Chains A and B, each alone.
Chain A
Amino acid sequence: MRRLSIIAITVVGVAGVVYAQGRGGGNQGVQTDGGVRYINPGSPTVSDAEATSRPIPRLPDGRVDLTGPWIGGGSNGDIERDGGLKPGELPLLPWARELRDKRLAKDEPYTACLPMSVPRVNPYPWKFAMSYTSRGLSHIYVLHETGDAGAHRVVYMDGRKHPPKDEWVPNWWGHSIGHWEGDTLVIDTVGYNDKFWFDSRGTPHTEQLHTIERWTRISWGRMVNEFTLDDPGAFSKPVTLKFTARLLRPDPETGIGDLMEFICLEDNQYGRAGGLQGIGSGTSNQR
C-alpha cells in the first residue's frame, strides 16, 4: 500500500541514516535513485507537518510529559551554528578561541567512548525518564543510547541545592537540579569537569561552567532547549543558545526510533584506518 503512494517531496531521501534531518517519514518503500533500487524504511521522526497534529501529552498529575523519545535538541558539529548564533558571535575568550581552532575532531574524547555531556547530542534517540515514585517525581533521568558513554544523566527534582564546591569532584555530567516554571523544565548544573568538548569542533570550557537549560515542549512533536552557558573562565559573558528536539515514533517490532544498545567500547577502532594512535585504540587513558 505504502509502495504505491508516492509522496512528492522536496528533499531527496537517500538510503542511509534513518533519522533524516527532520523531514519526516515520506517516501517509504522501494525507491530508485540513479538507477539503484533500495528500500526506504521511512523515518521515525515526526515531520514538521505532523508536529502540531496532536495535543501535548500530560501525565496523570497534570505535568507535561517530556518523555519522547527525541532526536536532536543540542549541539553536535558546531555549538555556535547549531545553537542559532552567527559565526563569531559566541563570546569566547581569546585563549579559548585559539584552543578551539587548534583542536581536531579526531582527537575529541568522544572518539574514546567518553561522555559528550551537555548540550551535546548525537544523531541517536534519547529520552527524559520521569521517575515517579511513592513520593512523587523524585528524579528525571536523561537516557542516551545504552552504553553510549555516560549513558545516563541524573537531574534531582526534590528541591535540593548544589553541594559546596570542595565537596564535589568535578565530573562529566556535573550536578543537576531541576524545577518547573509552568510547563518548562529548568535544569541548573554546576560541577562539570573540563574534559568534554561542546562540539566536534572542540569548543572548550572550564570547571567554572554553569549551565541553565530550559526545556519546553512547544507542540506534540517539538521541544525547545534554551541553553544558557555561563563560564567566566572561557567566555567573556554568558550566552544563550537555542536548540530544537524532534519527536520520534518508535517501532515496537524493529526497535527503530527507540533507545538501542550501543556499547561503544566493545570494538572501538576509531582512527585505525587512518593510522591514528592513542585515543580510540580500545582503551582510554586520560593521563
Chain B
Amino acid sequence: MKTKLAFAAALAFLCAAVPAVAHHSITGEYDPNKTVALAGTVTKIEWTNPHARMYIDVKQPDGSVVNWNLELLAVSALVRNGWTRTAVKIGDSVSIEGIQARSGASIANARVVTLPDGKKVFSGNNDQ
C-alpha cells in the first residue's frame, strides 16, 4: 500500500497540477502543434466557468495591437492552484505560453502564465 501511494505521489508530482484533465478535451479546439508565446497588457478578465478568460493587448511588430482571448482553467481549478482575484489585474503586463485555436483566430489556451512579479503559474489544460 505504501509503495503504491509513494508511486502515485511521485507520478502526480511530475505531471501537471490538478485537475490534470480538462472539463472538455482541449485538442478539439486547440492545435497542440500551434504553440504561441505572447506578451501583453491585460484588458479584461472574466472570472467565469467553464473557463476563466484573460484578454491581453499584444503589440505587433508593425505597431498595431491585437487583442488575444486566453482561455484559463475554471475558476475553481485556479483557486485550487492558489490563484486569487488579486493575482492578475487589468493593466498588468503578463506573458503566456499556450496553444492556438484551430481556426487561427487570436484565441489560445494558456498553459503557463508569467505574472507581473515574475512568478510562473500553471493555468491551462494539458491533455492530448
Contacts and interface: CB of A to CB of B under 8 A. Distances in A.
B85 interface: yes
A286 B46 CA distance: 10
Nearest to B84: A167
B48 A286 contact: yes
Nearest to A167: B84
Given A169-B85, A287-B46, 5 more contacts: A166-B85, A167-B84, A168-B85, A169-B75, A286-B48
Contacts of A166: 84-86
* Chain B interface helix/strand/loop/mixed: loop
Nearest to A163: B84
B79 interface: yes
B68 interface: no
Contacts of A287: 46
A286 B53 CA distance: 12
Contacts of B84: 166-167
Interface of B: 46-48, 75, 79, 84-86
A170 B85 CA distance: 10
Nearest to B53: A287
A75 to B, nearest CB: 25
A237 to B, nearest CB: 29
Contacts of A170: 47
A264 to B, nearest CB: 16
A170 B47 CA distance: 8
10 contacts: A166-B84, A166-B86, A167-B84, A167-B85, A169-B75, A169-B79, A169-B85, A170-B47, A171-B75, A287-B46
Nearest to A166: B86
Interface in A144-203: 166-171
B47 A169 contact: yes
A207 to B, nearest CB: 12
A169 B53 CA distance: 13
Contacts of B48: 286
Contacts of B75: 169, 171
B5 to A, nearest CB: 23
Contacts of A169: 47, 75, 79, 85
A169 to B, nearest CB: 4
Nearest to B52: A169
B6 to A, nearest CB: 28
A233 B47 CA distance: 21
Contacts of A167: 84-85
Interface in A238-287: 286-287
A168 B79 CA distance: 9
A170 B45 CA distance: 13
Contacts of B79: 169
